Amino acid sequence: MSFLPSLRRDRRGAAAVEFALALPILVAVLGGMTDLGLIERARGQLAEAVDAGGQYAVLTGTTATAQSIETAICAAANPISSSCAATGSPAVVVSATAPTCGCVTNTAGTITLTAASCGSTCSGSATAGGATAGSFVQMSASYTYQSILGINSKVVSKTITEKSWVRLQ
């Protein structure tokens, strides 16, 4: 019986037990913070990729094709994932439209392109692309981030989408 009281007073190994109890919480918090940082990094790289597609479209002009713009976006999205395409199940999904003449309007945050002859006058007070109809390209890219820790996968799995419109003329 004298063994139990001496065992209660013995503090050897208490720090190891406390550390073992706190470690899962510490790993979950640090993993979550890392995931959030990586999500923001991916969002920035995706935005740069869509910007690169827009830059390509502007430099190429009205001869740009949807496929060539998508290729430019994929080339710039390579730091996020080498799996990039417009169809199938890639990690980065891209889409672009061929240059289309029209008037762009922004109604309550929704951008729409109304077909019109290039150079004609756009009507309406909410004309976002200028008073004259021009050639526009719409681009988008999306990426689904997967958590680095399996325990956060249900909480942190997030699809990031970046969109852009470019006026070519």
Q: How many CB atoms lie within 10 A of CB 125?
A: 5
Would the pTM of this model clear 0.85, i.e. be above it?
no
18-75 per-position pLDDT tens digit: 889 999 888 888 888 888 888 889 899 999 999 999 999 999 988 999 999 999 999 9
The model's pLDDT over 117-128, given as tens digits with 9 standing for 90+, comes to: 888 888 765 566
What distance in Å separates the CA atoms of residue 116 and residue 32, rounded to the nearest whole number? 49
Question: What is the rounded CA–CA span in Å between residue 13 and residue 7?
Answer: 12
Assigned token pair, 169:
């003329």
Q: Which residue in the block uniquely carries the two structure tokens 């209660």?
A: 8
Q: Which amino acid is at 58?
A: V
- According to DSSP, the β-strands at 84-85 and 92-96 are parallel
Q: What DSSP character marks residue 123? A: -
- Digit-coded pLDDT (tens) for 91-143: 888 999 999 998 888 888 788 888 888 888 887 655 666 678 889 999 999 99
